[in-house]
Structures are given as structure tokens and as C-alpha cells.
Amino acid sequence: MRAYIAFAQKAFAREATYRFTIFAEIGSLVLRVYLLRSLWTALYAQNLAPADVPRHAMITYATVALLMSLILEVDGTRLIRDKLREGTIATDFMKPISLPLYFFSDGFGQTMLHALLVLPSLLLALLFVRIDVPSFTTLAAFAFTFALGYLVNFFLNFLMNAVAFWTLETFAIQLMVRWSSDLLSGQILPLVFFPGVLGKIVQALPFAAIYWTPLRIYIGELPQAQWGAAAATQCGWLGFFAAVSYLVWRLAERRVVVQGG
Amino acid sequence: MGALRTLFSREYTEKVAVDGISMALDAGELVGYIGPNGAGKSTTIKMLTGILTPTGGTIEVAGLIPYERRKANARNIGVVFGQRSQLYWDLPLRETFELLRAIYDIPGERYRKNLADFVELLEMGEFLSTPVRQLSLGQRMRGDFAAAMLHSPRIVYLDEPTIGLDVVAKEAIRQFVARINREQGATIILTTHDIADVERLCRRIVIIDKGTLIYDGTIERIKERYGSRRTLVVELCDAQPDFHVEGAELESREGNTIRIRFDRNAIGAEVLIRRVADAYGVNDVRIEEPELEAVIRRLYIESSAAGARA
């Protein structure tokens, strides 16, 4: 256990050495919040936005989604890809550790550093964008479903990076999944904007478990009575992706063991 | 067209990387494991560390089958690769050491003692707090050695550990290896292309080529067995354009200095010297012993010639 805590600590320290990236990230966030706010303000002024979501709820939604992306967009298992390309993964296999747990701890350490950035950004959002703050119960439910979404996102990310065991390069597939996920997870748009059957399909996809579920709780789109069911669906996806990840890892490990890293 | 074809289809050829390499090491031995590029050295090391499963045969390391008990085996071993580092690139050396302490559960007292010893032996004091990416190759290698030995492994695999190092750094590493072997009683397999490493550190060498064993024994014996050729260097009183002596062949000639090659098993040095002295005026003679490197080079060439015939 101590080893995995140490992995997370070192990953945290490692990320902190790239100071410029961190400042650039905050800068880019401020810019994106500003752009989105202008965009939605303009859309509402032209009456182009759906009438059933008030303007301020929409801006809150977009801002909170951006804050979440600070944590969710960390490519925490990038390490797998890098190590495969450099061939250093062989030395990790020579250590008395579980590699999937190592990757998780490392990813978690990276995430924790980026999570720190959420604090100043949140302050900014509260002061200047004046996002809505819901009740404590809602916040707690949001935090819980967000944690589940984080795990679903982690496994999705892990699976994409694990593709490198077969292809070494994952750029194209990551771009594809990232774009679909941005749109289908509710990061850019609330999923209620998708009309009719399309909306039903999109809400049934696993991407919805990442942003949409916690966000709709935050903005009060989901009645409290349905919170449990929503979290259960997230857990279902979590179990599914964890199982697939386990299988993929077994295959990847075999591949290394047969081909020798 | 070829490139397009490989885009859509792949061909696999099966190759036997190592075959019939049987050997046993006693605890505390320091064995040189050598062979030309592509001989199967790294494949052997990978099987010993448990990251490669052999298709046949048996391997046992300290009572464990490495590929079945990868993690348990990992606790017993330390590995150094000259060509890839296991240090954390962005962090100071010290932090990698702390991480390893957690990974191997090294008791506090042993950790502090080993670290203090290694810092002194490898003179790492100056750069312990420098990020690894800023270290020179020599410094990085020393860090890698310390990292691999921190948990006092019983078995150590060194894969070309002195590659690219200057003479001073090489010597520091060699002294360190000798000391780990002597004081901690670690069993060490040293893979290298630098024959001086082997000559300096090992009594026993194992030579493989194309996946098969071609020699396993002491360095003295290989020199005796394969190094029967000697060179006699003769300094003549005056130039002899048609120099010739029975039982040896002319290797080179430079002014009055003539080098002749002979096989010690075919003709004694003493007989040869007498023949030369009887026929010509001689100022000085000296016999050159074969170097281990030359012996091994001959062995590689013979082995590849045998392979070509087969």
C-alpha cells in the first residue's frame, strides 16, 4: 500500500515541476469560461436557446463543466503509452508491484495536482461568473456522482492507452474518443439539447455517466427521487469498464510476457 | 508497394532466440555472460526476470520459477540496463530512492545504511538533489546502480552497464560491482561487450552465439584452449627482405621489426626462437600473449563459420 501512496505523491511532485503548463492551464480556463459565457449570452439574446433552461442555469452548467474538465481531462494513464514507446515498461515488470494499481496511483497523483487548480478557478467562477450554488445535499450528491464519473473516465482512458500495447501509437483513437466524449458526455452541451430518439440514445451511452449525471444534479435538472437510479447506472458502467479493463490488461500482460516487452 | 502491403497484412516469422542453454550458478558467483549482438543475451535476462515465458525448458531463480511468480521473483533481483534508466526522469535522484524504499518495503535502518554506503562509494553526494534529466550519463548510471541495489538483492543482472561511460566512470562502476559481490554476497550475471569488464571482474564466463552455448568455463581455460596462437616479435640486426622461418607465418614487417605468428601446440617458442637466431642476427625477441578479446573474437568468427556450414 505504501508503494502506491508513494507513486501518487511522486506523480504529484512530477506534475508540479511543469509550472508553465499549470499557469497556461489556468489562463486557458479563464479564456474558455469567458468565451462560453459570451456565446450563451448571445444565443439567449437571439432567443436561440431552449426556453426550458434559464440563461443563468446554462452559464452555471457550462462553467461547472469546465471546472470538472480540469480534473477529467488529465490523461492520467499517458504513462502506459510513454513507457511502451520508450521500452521502459520492461523495468516496471521487474518490480514487485501490480502495474494497473501503479498506473491508477500515478494518475490519481497527477489528478490531485490539477484538482488544486480547481480552487482558484472556482473562486474566479463564484466572483465573476456568479455561478449558482445549490443546497448542501445537492452538492454532496454532485460530489458523489462526480467521483463515480471520474472512475468511469479513468477506465475509459486506461483502455485507450492500453491500445498502445498493440499499436504503440494511440493518437488517432484518442482524438476520436475525446471528441465523441466531449459532445456525448455533456461537457459542451446539456444532453437535453439532443432531440427525440437521439437524446434517448445519447443519455443511454456510457459517456453520459462522466459529465451529464453529476451536472444535471448540480443544476437541478434531475429530481432528487431519481438520484439513486442515476448513480446506479453510473456504477453499472463502472463495473462494465472495470471488467473490460481487467480483461484487456490480462491480454496486454500476456503480450508483453510472450514478446518480451 | 511493399509499404502498402505491410499496411494491410503482416507476416510473422518464428525464430528460436535461445536453445539449449543449460547452466547453473552458485550463490555468490559473478559470471560474465557474453556473445555477439543478437546472440540471445537479453532474451535470457528477460526470462530470468520473469517478463518472458519460455516455450520450453525450465528456469529457477533462488527456488522460484520467475515467469510464474513474477512479483515474488522481483523482490530477489536487482537489474541495471545500460541503455534504459529506471530513475524518475523529472525528479531528483533522492526521490527515486525513496520510492524504491516504499516499493521494496526496505526497513529504515537498512535503507539508510545502504544509501549512505552507496552515496559514498559512487560519490553521489553532489547530485543527489539534482533532477535526473540534468545528470550526465556517468552520474545517471551511478544512480541506476544504487537504485538497483538499494533493497540488497540476492541476484543481480547487469545488462551492458558500462556502455558509453568514460574510463573513470567505468572503473567506479567495476569497483562497485566487485564490492557488492564480495560484501553482500550477491550473485551477479554481467552482460557486456566490453571484455575488460569481464576480465576485471569475472572468473567464469559463459559465451553464447545464435542462441546456443559455445563456452562455459574460466577465463584462464579459454585462453589456454582457444588462445594457443602466439606472436613472436623479433628485432633483427639488419633488414632481411626474404625473411622466412619454418613452423611460423609472417604477420607483419616494419623496418627491422618482424612479427611472426605461431601455434604454441605445434611448435615451442624456444625452438622457434632458436631457429630464428641460427639463421639471422637478432637484437631482441619478445612473445605476445593473446588478449581475451582476440580469443573471443576468434571464437565468434569460428562459431559463425560453423553456422554457415550447417
Q: Does A5 touch chain B (CB under 8 A)?
A: yes
- Of the partner residues A13, A87, A96, the one whose CB lies closest to the CB of residue B75: A96
Residues 73-92 in A contacting B (C-alpha not used; CB under 8 Å): 86-88, 90-91
Q: Does B91 touch chain A (CB under 8 A)?
A: yes
From A54's Cα to the closest Cα of chain B, the distance in A is: 47
What's the structural domain count of chain B?
2
> Do B254 and B216 belong together in one domain?
no
> Do B190 and B284 belong together in one domain?
no
> Do B173 and B268 belong together in one domain?
no
> For A66-98, what is each residue's pLDDT tens digit?
999 989 988 888 888 888 887 788 888 889 999
> Do B207 and B245 belong together in one domain?
no
From B90's Cα to the closest Cα of chain A, the distance in A is: 6
> Would the pLDDT of B1 be above 80?
no
> Would the pLDDT of A260 be above 80?
no
> Would the pLDDT of A51 be above 70?
no
From B29's Cα to the closest Cα of chain A, the distance in A is: 21
Instruction: Kindly report the average pLDDT of chain A as a whole number.
Output: 89
Q: Does A211 touch chain B (CB under 8 A)?
A: no
Q: Please report which confidence band the pLDDT of residue B6 belongs to, taking 50, 70 and 90 as the band edges.
A: low
> Would the pLDDT of A237 be above 70?
yes
In a domain, B304, yes or no: no
C-alpha B275/C-alpha B156 separation (Å) is 52
Q: Please report which confidence band the pLDDT of residue A255 belongs to, taking 50, 70 and 90 as the band edges.
A: confident
CATH number of the structural domain spanning residue B261: 3.30.70
A contacts of B107 (beta carbons < 8 Å)? none
A contacts of B98 (beta carbons < 8 Å)? 6
Report the chain A residue with the minimal C-alpha distance to residue B75: A96
In a domain, B40, yes or no: yes
Q: Does B46 touch chain A (CB under 8 A)?
A: yes
Strands B155-159 and B187-191: parallel
| Residue-level pLDDT at B223 | 81
> For A102-129, what is each residue's pLDDT tens digit?
999 999 999 999 888 888 888 888 888 8
**Alpha helices for chain B (secondary structure H):** 2-8, 41-49, 70-76, 93-104, 108-121, 137-149, 167-183, 195-201, 219-226, 269-279, 292-309
Average pLDDT over residues B264-282: 87
In a domain, B4, yes or no: no
A contacts of B99 (beta carbons < 8 Å)? 3, 6-7, 10
Asked if B74 and A90 come within 8 Å (Cβ–Cβ), the reply is: no
Q: Please report which confidence band the pLDDT of residue B7 belongs to, taking 50, 70 and 90 as the band edges.
A: low
> Do B206 and B237 belong together in one domain?
no
Task: Please say which residue of B223, B248, B272 terminates a domain.
Answer: B223
| Residue-level pLDDT at A16 | 87
| Residue-level pLDDT at A172 | 85
> Do B56 and B121 belong together in one domain?
yes
C-alpha B144/C-alpha B158 separation (Å) is 11
A contacts of B53 (beta carbons < 8 Å)? 257-258
- Of the partner residues A3, A17, A93, the one whose CB lies closest to the CB of residue B102: A3
> Do B66 and B153 belong together in one domain?
yes
Q: How is residue B74 written as a grid cell?
A: 522481483
| Residue-level pLDDT at B11 | 63
Task: Please say which residue of B176, B202, B223 terminates a domain.
Answer: B223
Average pLDDT over residues B7-21: 70
The residue segments making up the domain with residue B247 are 228-289
| Residue-level pLDDT at B16 | 76
Element (DSSP H or E) covering residue A119: helix A99-124
C-alpha B188/C-alpha B190 separation (Å) is 6
A210: nearest Cα among A75, A72, A90: A72
Residues 51-70 in B contacting A (C-alpha not used; CB under 8 Å): 51-53, 67, 70
**Domain residue spans in chain A?**
2-259
| Residue-level pLDDT at B88 | 86
> Do B110 and B144 belong together in one domain?
yes
In a domain, B78, yes or no: yes
Q: Does B152 touch chain A (CB under 8 A)?
A: no
Residues 209-268 in B contacting A (C-alpha not used; CB under 8 Å): none
Task: Please say which residue of B199, B223, B247 terminates a domain.
Answer: B223
Average pLDDT over residues A139-167: 93
Asked if A97 and B131 come within 8 Å (Cβ–Cβ), the reply is: no
Asked if B84 and A257 come within 8 Å (Cβ–Cβ), the reply is: no
Report the chain B residue with the minimal C-alpha distance to residue A86: B84
Asked if A10 and B88 come within 8 Å (Cβ–Cβ), the reply is: yes
Cα of first residue to Cα of last residue in chain B, in angstroms, is: 35
> Do B178 and B199 belong together in one domain?
yes
- Of the partner residues B50, B53, B88, the one whose CB lies closest to the CB of residue A14: B88
3-state secondary structure A243-259: HHHHHHHHHHHHHHHHH
The size of the A-B interface in CB pairs under 8 A is 74
Report the chain B residue with the minimal C-alpha distance to residue A90: B51
> For B210-230, what is each residue's pLDDT tens digit?
888 888 999 888 887 777 788
> Do B275 and B140 belong together in one domain?
no
DSSP codes, B218-271: EHHHHHHHH--EEEEEEEESS--TT---TT-EEEEEETTEEEEEEETTTS-HHH
> Would the pLDDT of B308 be above 70?
no
B contacts of A10 (beta carbons < 8 Å)? 88, 91, 95, 99
Name residues whose C-beta falls within 8 Å of residue B59's C-beta, 6 or more positions apart in sequence. Answer: B47, B48, B65, B66, B67
CATH number of the structural domain spanning residue B20: 3.40.50.300
In a domain, B296, yes or no: no
> Do B256 and B155 belong together in one domain?
no
| Residue-level pLDDT at A259 | 56
Average pLDDT over residues A225-242: 96
Q: What is the ipTM of this complex?
A: 0.78
| Residue-level pLDDT at B10 | 60
Which has more pLDDT, A3 or B5?
A3
> Do B212 and B238 belong together in one domain?
no
A115: nearest Cα among A78, A79, A73: A73
| Residue-level pLDDT at A185 | 92
Q: Does A19 touch chain B (CB under 8 A)?
A: no
Residues 96-135 in B contacting A (C-alpha not used; CB under 8 Å): 98-99, 102-105, 131
Which has more pLDDT, B7 or A224?
A224
Asked if B46 and A90 come within 8 Å (Cβ–Cβ), the reply is: yes
In a domain, B80, yes or no: yes
Picking from A14, A20, A94, A101 by the largest number of B CB atoms within 10 A of its own CB, the best residue to mutate is A94
| Residue-level pLDDT at A261 | 43
> For A165-211, what is each residue's pLDDT tens digit?
888 778 888 888 888 888 899 988 888 888 889 999 999 999 999 99
Report the range out of A76-85, B5-14, B99-108, B300-309 with the highest average pLDDT.
B99-108
